[in-house]
Structure formats: structure tokens, C-alpha cells
Chain A
């Protein structure tokens, strides 16, 4: 691992989020939502939106920087970047790429953004309506294995088998997200609490995932502004310094037909130690965690692989009480996350991580948050993660 680092050189200084809608309920097209989120983020940072000169997104976002630049009348763009791969694997990665671009001098003010209107475009939760499955899909789709839930259920099942994990561990992740959404008026599931019985009685989507183990499908857009640590000091809000950002994938994780040698994994085994090394700290220093929930089982393996608990301790550790913002050992997904706030492809996890540093989250921790962490996109390839800090050089 290289000694060159972006540690402490940049910060997140602006947050923008449209209203979050149920899938298909957004009154505006995706591109308009994206522009709104970017303008809101600039306003929050206290900068002119025309001064943004770097763009970073992920998951084949349809809202391309050249069109955004033209729409906003930006004079020069020095960096425009797409993080490869699908799912939410690039949420932290887009922020990391924005930070790297600022640190390397490609641009002064970068925005990491995601716009998503599954009502306007296709749904993630359905298999593609195609007559023929070519390539790697030929080995799965004809057998009825087509949706993201189905792509990941067998990885989770194998992990649960290997470590004797009970269904209640997955349930705890869902309960934590719904618990926090009840305090968050922006959450789509605000006012819709989830009990253990609700979870247990909910239908299976694909064993071992109940309905409440699966993320929502939503419409909206979100954006965060990244600039240099020097510039950040003079802006409106307390900066959330980017202490570490990693991205990548473990050995042959994308091998076709589910042939990744290490199968029951969230794909963070090589990234997690690199993240902690870059940040110069360990899991004990992390005050609050936003962990991308495509499915609860992915959160479980992400938490294990970031060394918050051992694989064989999952049944004990995965309890709602450990994940609550009010007194939990590891406050988790404190805005409601993908399950209960909004599936903004995990960019809403970044904005929540920043709010916890600022002290403005609906579920704000009682203690001062010094270290706020995000993990993005378990089980996909590549994945990414991020550590934010109250101090540039803690």
C-alpha cells in the first residue's frame, strides 16, 4: 500500500438532497432532481454552484457532467469521473474520487452526486425482460436467478451456515434502520415503525431475506461538495474531513456463475484494513457507522469484515440495542438508510455521516462524534468505504 495519501487534505462541506419519494412518485424527471440536489449542496456549502469544477458519480448514473456543466453554465470542468460497477458499491468511492481529484489539483470544488428515478427508468428489483441471457447471465437467469436479492441471498446463506447465524441477526439490522427512521421526518418510512413480529410475519422475497431485509426502491437525488481542507475552514459549516477512502475488490470476486473463491463475504476483507491504516485508527475509534443495506445480510458481513465483531459473535452482537443512536455500542444507519430513509443508492448514508460530524442529525448521538464511517455496496464489485473526521489530523 502506497504511502501517498489524501488523509486530511479534503473535506465534505456541502450537502444537498431533494425530497425523497417512493418509487415512481417523484413529480420531476431524474435530471431535474439531480440539478436540484447539486444546487442545494452548493447553497449549503455557501459557494456559487458555478464554481463547481469537478464531478464524480457511480453506478452508471445517467446524469452526465457535460450536460450538467452546460445546464448550470459552468465555465470550466477539470474532472469528470464515473466509478465502475453497479449497486451502491461506488457511494464512498465517488467521494473518494472527488477528494483525490481535489488533492491532486484537477479541480478545486468537486461534487459527488447520484440521481435516481426508478419510476422514470427501470426497476432494480425485476429481472430484465429479455428473451436471451448471454454470457455469465446464461448460467443464472434461465434458472430464475435474476434479481439483486437473488444474486446475494446465496452468499449470505453460506455465511450464515458457516457461522451458525440466526435469522434474528438480520432482523436486528432492519429494526435499527426503522427505529431511526421514526425520528427522521425526511425518511420515507417515517411514521411506519417496524416490530419484531412485523418482521417475522413479513413475506419471504427469497430465503433468507424477508421483505424487510431488502432495500426500498425510490426516486430522488443527493449530492455532497468536496473541497480542500484549507478552503473548507472558511465555509458555512463545520467541515467533515476525509480521513480515509478506499475502493476495490478482493480476489476473483466477479468470477462468473458465483465462482468467487471466497463466497460468503461482503468483499471488504482487503479494503477494511487499508481503510483503517490510512485513517490511522481502528474500529474502536469509530463513533457511528452507516453501512449500505442492499440487503441486511450484506450489512452483517460488512460489520464483521470491518472488525466490529467476529463472525462467531454475530448472534450476540446483532441486537437492536447495540445499533441504536441512543446508547448503542455501534450506532448503525442512524437516518434509516436504504431500508427506511430512502434508497438514494447510499449517497444518503454519506450525508448522514456528515450530519453526525456537524451535530445536526435527527438521531444525533449524545456524545460528540469524532469519527464517522461509511461502507458502500457490500457483495458487489468493486466496493468502497470512507472515514470522516471532526479534525483534519486527529
Chain B
């Protein structure tokens, strides 16, 4: 069976989606910063976002995509899993618009939109992010979106968030 999903380690290149300009954040600074699991399970994912690549865990044995990451494949129990790069194209699966500041940093930025997107070229695994643009825009479930990499370079441990915008 041919492999339509090249590995991020040396596979065929997948065009990197566009990047948001540095310092241009959807949500204010001060929210908790992402860290890999204590065991390091998501380390490769967060490293890939720094290169503006979107990667997902996939089972080497049965090719099932798995997200969030885990030590073994839920489908076949293989321990051999790799991170593979995916296109960054997705569909909105669900969404919500928070109006209440659950964190002090959010008081200046209300409302905002959180989307849950599914990735058709990665077994429809889902990712959470913000929907860029007007926070009051109408959000359509099923709408096509693309990943946008939001670099946070002006912190002690720089990181990159994966945001989404309607195509």
C-alpha cells in the first residue's frame, strides 16, 4: 500500500502553511504556555510547530492516526508510532465563543472563538485552536480552514501555537 503521508523525518516535502507575523497574537500574552507531557510524548509535535510544520502521531504498523499522542496505538497496540507531517487543511467540527474571562489575561480580549477542527488527511483526528479574524463572525460547522502558525518568540521558552483561519 502506498504511503500518502510522508514522515516529517525525510519524507516528501509538504508545503508549510502561512505564518502569522511575530508578535501578532490572537489572545493576549499571559495564558499558560504549552509544554510536552512530563514523559515527553508531545515533544516532537511542539518542535514541529516551531518549524511551522503540523505533525500527528501515526501507527507504523496499522497506519491509524492518533491524537493526542499516546505510548501505544489504540487500534492494534503496536508500540511503534511516528510523527508524520500533514497538510494543515481541516474542517470546523465544532466551536464555542467564550464571553467570560476564565483567566486574568483574557479580560482585555472578549469574546474570542475556540474551534475544534478535524483533519481529513489524518484520519479526521481533531485539534483545538482559535479561529482567526472577527471574534463575532458567524462560525459554520463544516467550513474549510487552514493552519496558521503563531510564533511566541518574546518569552523565555519560545513556542508556537497552531491557529486556524477560514480558507
- Point out residues on A near B: beta carbons under 8 Å: 125-147, 149-150, 153-155, 157-158, 161, 203-208, 252, 255-259, 263-264
| B residues in contact with A138, CB < 8 Å | 34-37, 42, 46
CB atoms of A257 and B99 under 8 A apart: no
Interface residue stretch chosen among B3-11, B13-21, B110-118: B110-118
Question: Which of A126, A144, A207 meets B31, CB within 8 Å?
Answer: A144
| B residues in contact with A142, CB < 8 Å | 27, 31-34, 159, 161
CB atoms of B130 and A144 under 8 A apart: yes
Interface residues of B in 61-114 (CB under 8 A from A): 67-69, 74, 93-100, 102-104, 106, 111-112, 114
Best-surrounded residue of A131, A132, A139, A263 (most CB of chain B within 10 A): A139
CA gap between A143 and B129 in the complex, in Å: 6
* Given A144-B98, A257-B68: A134 touches B130 (CB 8 Å cut-off): no
Q: B71 CB to closest chain A CB, in angstroms? A: 13
CB atoms of A257 and B38 under 8 A apart: no
| B residues in contact with A131, CB < 8 Å | 32-33
CB atoms of A257 and B31 under 8 A apart: no
With A127-B102, A139-B68 given, can you name 11 additional A-B contacts, CB distance below 8 Å? A126-B103, A129-B104, A132-B33, A133-B35, A138-B34, A138-B36, A141-B34, A161-B141, A204-B99, A204-B100, A205-B100
Q: A295 CB to closest chain B CB, in angstroms? A: 11
Closest 6 CB pairs of A and B: A256-B68, A138-B34, A133-B32, A153-B96, A158-B94, A154-B94
CB atoms of A259 and B125 under 8 A apart: yes
Count, chain B residues at interface, CB 8 A: 41
Q: A382 CB to closest chain B CB, in angstroms? A: 18
| B residues in contact with A208, CB < 8 Å | 96
CB atoms of A143 and B37 under 8 A apart: no
| B residues in contact with A207, CB < 8 Å | 96-97, 99, 111
B106 (CB) vs chain A CBs: closest residue? A144
CB atoms of B97 and A257 under 8 A apart: no
Q: A8 CB to closest chain B CB, in angstroms? A: 38
Q: A150 CB to closest chain B CB, in angstroms? A: 6
* Given A126-B102, A258-B116: A139 touches B94 (CB 8 Å cut-off): no
| B residues in contact with A133, CB < 8 Å | 32-35
Can you report 8 residue pairs joining A to B where beta carbons are below 8 Å apart?
Answer: A128-B32, A139-B42, A142-B32, A143-B114, A143-B129, A146-B103, A256-B67, A257-B67
Q: A212 CB to closest chain B CB, in angstroms? A: 13
B128 is an interface residue with CB less than 8 A from chain A:
yes
